[in-house]
Structure 1
Amino acid sequence: MTTRKHAPVTAADVRSAALSLPDTAEKLAWGQPTFRVAGKIFASLGDDDTAMGVKCPKEDRAELIATEPEKFFLKEGHDDHYAWMRVRLAALEDAGELAAILTDAWRQVAPRRLLAAHPELELPEGG
């Protein structure tokens, strides 16, 4: 049985996936591209384009990091106080996983009116 290698997720993929979400804009902040909905940041690209930061509830971070430490991590001293975590792009399975992570982060900051206008982006029942 052969294992099929996936194409690595790139910073261009992050930009494309983030900007495909409704009412999303890119804005440079702290020298890095950030992606915002209604003026609120839900994702950013790191300095070297090997990782992205995403909005993530603090209570979910420990489990994600423990389950997949090669994929999820915190920038110590910076992310500790924020509902935010980092994702290594090379560890992502494919563009579908990237889209799912970005959509989840987008949902956390999107205004209710926008969520209501895009029910296709809601969490599945029980999710």
Structure 2
Amino acid sequence: MARSRAARLSDIDEAALALPEVTRDPPSGGRPSFQVRGKTFAFARGPRKDAVDPETGQPYEDVLAFSCTAEDKESMVSDPDSPWFTTPHWNGYNAVLLLERDIGRLTAQEIREVVTDAWLAKAPKRLATELLGEP
């Protein structure tokens, strides 16, 4: 099987909007937030003092957040070569962070999987079951 191409920001939109009952705010353009039945599962976060560039000391302006399970979070952030990270502010919260500039370190398939898993973490059980085709 061929390796999936490098991920692009547009892959997040495409993956999220392909899932059931997803809304995007703003509806187009801008730095988005995605919800399923009013629950946010992925969003572009504004600069905060808890996520700073170690070289400049300035807050990152391109942080993306994705909901996940506690197990997935541990796995995703434990690899030192992973683009996924967390900050003390996110301790106890099931989400991982990614810098927009690092999205190309992932494949389009990996982004689709992370977005789908984020959706599954917030979607109502019945809706998730329908997507997965499980009884």
TM-score of the superposed pair, with normalisation by structure 1: 0.72
Instruction: Provide Cα deviations, 1:47-91, integer angstroms capped at 9, x if missing partner.
Output: 5885531112234323321235432101x2421242111134122
Aligned residue type for 1:86: L
Are 1:111 and 2:124 counterparts?
Answer: yes
The alignment-based identity, stated in percent, is 28
Find 2:66's aligned residue among 32, 39, 54.
Answer: 54
CA RMSD of aligned residues (A): 2.9
Find 1:26's aligned residue among 13, 24, 27.
Answer: 24
TM-score of the superposed pair, with normalisation by structure 2: 0.68
Are the structure 2 counterparts of residues 110 and 22 from structure 1 closer, same or farther at C-alpha, using a change threshold of 3 Å? same
Deviation at 1:117, TM superposition (A): 2.2
Are 1:89 and 2:88 counterparts?
Answer: no
Aligned residue type for 1:90: G
Aligned residue type for 1:60: D
The 3-state SS of whatever aligns with 2:7 is coil
Larger RCO: 1 or 2 (CA < 8 Å, sep 6+): 2
Deviation at 1:105, TM superposition (A): 0.9
The runs of 5 or more residues in structure 2 that have no matched partner are 47-59
The runs of 5 or more residues in structure 1 that have no matched partner are 123-127
